[in-house]
């Protein structure tokens, strides 16, 4: 568990942002890089919130920053399906009107979270999949990228490890996410991932599913999950944790309860970040690592950790 107090990050009704770089087992030699990536994302989002920008813009900017960073399993450097192709999942939600947008099994685009945001703004549908997500993106001015640009040598090596049985097939470490509460009292959450390494084509995890990987409601708070997507879907984990906040639980207690349920009920591994309507942050994991960073109106600098 992260060593933070339940009231940690309390912004006293001001803005707050927390980001995660995925639950997993980041090797010691790569931890500084992971940590720096999360700190940069929190700094970018913190700047937006400090200038009274929206929680929605802040979580999108944080996640886009992490999608650009090949150290994480999202956007460039994301996990590959068993055929060696990227199929990207992302979702975003804001808590004032419960607006939400998501894409899943998206072919390579640099910023899936920006396409999810465009879905949210269009207000017609919530989730576009595969070829339909591609069509939506093109129709809304996004330029497709390619496996040649976005697949890294590290992801190809990891896929080879999975195919040859040297690494677990269910590995989805490095999913990224962010939760924020802005100065106007609005909360938002965003999550982006390449999913599990070596997944079947068409497999979709929790990250693009509103209620499983991502949720936001001003009356309670905002949530982004990471880890075993199949387990998080079955537990409807993000919405479940938000309901605990609505019932009065503090974010840190809710985060720990969520991770306990993942382990005890599903035998699964993962992590969670939460911010409540008042700007209090909670985070927990039952994996070896979960890189995170956070900033708020009352913290004088970005806080961060990995274990
Ligand atoms: N939690 C990310 C995934 O399972 O795809």
pLDDT tens for 169-181 read 666 678 999 999 9
Q: What is the residue with the minimal CA distance to atom 4 of ligand 1?
A: 229
Q: For the chain, how many residues are written? A: 307
Kindly report, residue by residue over 17-69, the tens digit of the pLDDT: 999 999 988 989 999 999 999 999 999 999 999 999 999 999 999 999 999 99
Let me know if domain 16-306 sits in CATH 3.60.20.30. Answer: yes
Helices (H) and strands (E) in the chain, counts: 9, 12
Cβ 282 under 6 angstroms from ligand 1: no
Rounded distance between C-alpha atoms, residue 118 and residue 111, angstroms: 11
Per-residue pLDDT, 174: 85
pTM: 0.96
Q: Separation of 13 CA from ligand 1 center, angstroms?
A: 32
| 33-to-27, 36, 65, 91, 303 alpha-carbon distances in Å | 11, 5, 14, 25, 16
Per-residue pLDDT, 171: 67
Rounded distance between C-alpha atoms, residue 51 and residue 235, angstroms: 37
Q: Separation of 15 CA from ligand 1 center, angstroms?
A: 28
Let me know: does 117 contact 56? Beta carbons within 8 Å.
Answer: yes
Per-residue pLDDT, 4: 47
Per-residue pLDDT, 94: 98
Cβ 208 under 6 angstroms from ligand 1: no
- Looking up tokens 């880890």 gives 227
- State the closest ligand 1 atom to the C-alpha of 89, by its place in the atom list counted from 1: 5
Going from N- to C-terminal start, the domains of the chain cover: 16-306
Per-residue pLDDT, 151: 97
Cβ 227 under 6 angstroms from ligand 1: yes
Per-residue pLDDT, 2: 43
Cβ 206 under 6 angstroms from ligand 1: yes
Per-residue pLDDT, 129: 98
Low pLDDT (below 70) residues in the chain:
1-12, 169-172, 307
Per-residue pLDDT, 298: 85
Per-residue pLDDT, 172: 65
């Amino acid at each position: 568990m992260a060593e933070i107090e339940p009231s940690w990050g309390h912004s006293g009704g001001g803005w707050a942002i927390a980001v995660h770089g995925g639950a997993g087992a980041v090797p010691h030699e790569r931890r500084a890089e992971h940590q720096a990536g999360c700190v940069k994302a929190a700094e970018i989002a913190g700047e937006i919130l400090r200038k009274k920008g929206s929680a929605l813009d802040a979580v999108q900017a944080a996640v886009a920053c992490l999608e650009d960073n090949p150290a994480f399993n999202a956007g460039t450097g994301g996990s590959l399906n068993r055929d060696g192709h990227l199929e990207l999942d992302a979702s975003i939600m804001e808590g004032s009107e419960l607006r939400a947008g998501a894409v899943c099994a998206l072919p390579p685009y640099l910023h899936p979270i920006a396409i999810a945001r465009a879905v949210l703004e269009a207000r017609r549908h919530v989730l576009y999949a595969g070829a339909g997500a591609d069509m939506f993106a093109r129709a809304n001015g996004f330029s497709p990228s390619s496996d040649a640009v976005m697949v890294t040598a590290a992801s190809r090596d990891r896929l080879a490890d999975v195919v040859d049985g040297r690494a677990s097939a269910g590995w989805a470490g490095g999913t990224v996410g962010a939760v924020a509460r802005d100065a106007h009292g609005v909360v938002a959450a965003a999550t982006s991932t390449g999913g599990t390494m070596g997944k079947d084509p068409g497999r979709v995890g929790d990250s693009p599913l509103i209620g499983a990987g991502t949720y936001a409601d001003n009356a309670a708070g905002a949530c982004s999950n990471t880890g075993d997507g199949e387990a998080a879907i079955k537990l409807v984990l993000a919405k479940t944790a938000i309901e605990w906040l609505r019932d009065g639980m503090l974010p840190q207690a809710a985060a720990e309860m969520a991770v306990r349920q993942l382990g005890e009920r599903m035998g699964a591994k993962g992590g969670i970040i939460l911010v409540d309507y008042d700007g209090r942050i909670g985070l927990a994991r039952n994996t070896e690592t979960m890189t995170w960073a956070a900033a708020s109106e009352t913290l004088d600098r970005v806080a961060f950790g990995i274990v």
